[in-house]
Amino acid sequence: MTSRPSPAPAVEPVASGGGGSPRGGELTHLDDQGHARMVEVSEKPVTARLAVASCEVHMAPATAALLADGALPKGDALPVVRLAGIQAAKRTDELIPLCHQVALTSVEVDVEVARDDGLAVITATAQAWDRTGVEMEAMTAASVAALTLYDLVKAVQRDVVITQLRLREKRGGRSGDVVLP
């Protein structure tokens, strides 16, 4: 089993001119009484949005080999993992309470398996033409894909570890483009 990686470095949030991002400490998802609310986005322009998220699934090299070969007891896991991630992205607004329903135009989920390292890296890319970003859709896709992968390998290994769920990139919107290491 590989050692657990250290946490990703802290990144300062990107400030924005408005429309759902914090300005001067303002909490945009709370009303004047401190109650949770969905942010108003109707005045924002519809623009192209893109987000990329990733996570890692750590397992024994023997498990990674079975995964890469499509030889797990439950069959070839990779197509199921990809479809689970895509389906999850489409349902993000049902799972995350204050997320808007977004008109997704594309969702891709990629799984790279490193047999010798016992590692599967899941990368999810979400795109939309909308008034709000798709970061949560990409992160939901990556996380549900990882959970699905765990479900499909647990018959051969129960101590699989999911780590490093994070946003890698976002494009579009008032806050501009952000690419994280």
By C-alpha distance, which of 143, 142, 173, 145 is closest to 50? Answer: 173
| Whole-number Å distance between alpha carbons of 13 and 9 | 12
By C-alpha distance, which of 13, 108, 97, 7 is closest to 51? Answer: 108
**Residue 168 contacts residue 123 (beta carbons within 8 Å):** yes
| Burial group, residue 108, by CB count within 10 angstroms (0-12, 13-18, 19+) | middle
| Burial group, residue 31, by CB count within 10 angstroms (0-12, 13-18, 19+) | exposed
By annotation, the residues acting in catalysis are 151
By C-alpha distance, which of 29, 59, 33, 63 is closest to 132? Answer: 29
Tell me if residue 125 falls in helix, strand or coil. Answer: strand
